[in-house]
Structure 1
Amino acid sequence: MQPRNMSMSGVVDLAAVKAAGEAKAKAEQARAQRRQAGPGEAPAAPLVIEVTEATFEADVLQRSSEVPVVISFWTDQIEQSRQLNTVLERLAAQYRGRFVLATADVYANQLLFQQFGVQGVPAVFAVLAGQAMPLFQGAAPEDQITEVLDQVIAVAEQRFGIVGQETGPQDAAEPEPAPRPATPQELALSAAHDALDAGDLSGAIQAYKNVLADEPANVEAKLGLAQAELLARVEGADPQKVRAAAAEAPGDVSAQLAAADLDLVGGHVEDAFSRLVDTVKRTVGEDRDRARLRLLDLFEVIGPDDPRVAAARTALARVLF
């Protein structure tokens, strides 16, 4: 889930599959380096940092490939935001390295404030492998905050292989086990990612389908396939002609599908979803089914956890039922 106007990767990151693979590789590399260094040879990184616009890339973007980074936008002038930071700092210590807390004073970091589309403070976001997601705004009970943090940590591990590095005396007594060899499914998925990264869309599509044939529930393969098929559909398209055709013929389902694809690739997620929901609403039979299935495909590209997908699913249900 991306905050509005996030300049680092746009509203939709069509390289999310690549980012996930790179994040897993970086996380494993960092863990290997820590094992080689041995306990006590390198100082533990701080669990709470004060981030600025100048340090954002190093302290947040780069670090988010190794550990979930939680950003708290706050100001000393609002008591509620000071209290929330106190809670988050205590939780960062309790979680002992499973996430890092970065605090950003909104008055000293107006550019970050605008890039994340923050509406007010306190506001809390997470960054995983360079991908930002809004968590919550305003005060919240500590038990609800811990539930959100647990979800962030789970998503970081499941999607990106990022597990952080717990700190404490048990590190020396319980060394991390050696990484296991990659499974055939993981090797096939890596080959699919490589094909997508190289621009071999047909090869990537077939590779992802091969993975899904053996493992139909593989979320990463589903996402990769949806992205590869989307890129294949818009490849070589003339945006002006596509949009003009859609505007001239609202009832032309093919024109609306093509325009929705371009909307999504251009980062206009809500526009793409709304266009297809409207198309479903005013069509019947096979045309309605085509629009509905394309909308479900685009949901796969964005991911089920994105609130825009949840909103569009609700809108789709209203027009269908």
Structure 2
Amino acid sequence: MQPRNMSMSGVVDLAAVKAAGEARQKAEEARAQRAASADQGDEAPGGADRLVIDVDEAGFESEILQRSAEVPVVIDFWAEWCEPCKQLGPVLEKLAHEYAGRFVLAKVDVDQNQALFQQFGVQGIPAVFAVIAGQALPLFQGAAPEQQIRQVLDQLVEAARQQFGIEGAPVAPGAEQEAPQAAPEPPADPALAAAHSALDAGDLGGAVQAYKNVLSGDPGNVEARLGLAQAELLGRVQGLDAGQVRTDAADRPDDVAAQLRAADLDLVGGHVEDAFGRLVDTVRRTVGDDREKVRLRLLELFEVIGGEDPRVVAARGALARVLF
């Protein structure tokens, strides 16, 4: 579903939101192309939209790095001759289907992909790693009991959600084995339409409340989350003196409130990388409640631009390096 452009063009420059819409449009076009390829029987090996995929060195960037900006990717390093691998593999595949899209399992045959094996510094197999927002972390090595694996996966999924705002899209049981089909356009939601109307009319307070009403009944509504992030952003920058905000931010680099205001202005002015870089640097310099406040604001700005945008992917990686 495409995001709505923020209105009130007389108040702010909407270049950043336009860029977000273009990025999401490209992502939707890519999904449509994959669906068309699947219908014609020429889907890429491993199934780009499946929960369990076989990955080689050529597909590492698209299947693991890029996808890790949208969903945690668990990598199973294995080999045909490895008996513990044969014990662990089916357990991981079972859990991938059971978790239904909260993570994706990527299987890497180390005999065929020595470069990946060495890149991750794997000491022995089976070895299981995770990639979140482009950042790799080891999970465990050896054929662990299923209950312990569940605990590790639960911690991984929660860390991805809490630290980076990354949540995999739910998949109905068995759906990943079916050829993708174009979904019919859902009926218009009156509550969501009212929220959009308030935003378009410049009633920011009304729009914020309306989007929150939608989310109270449907917490996973992506369009409502985007609309809320846009309305709150516009509300924060309304009436600000841009010159004074930037002077305050330059004079007081450790003032969290000043940096948050400057980042908001950067974003609505189209300076997306500047906004993200400012907040990542502020996270680096802060601790405790201040750090958490800045991290959450950064996740809100990610919502405005869109998770598929390469600038968001890069910023998530930078945030991960600061936090870990």
| Higher RCO (C-alpha 8 Å, min separation 6) | 2
The normalised TM-score by structure 1 is 0.49
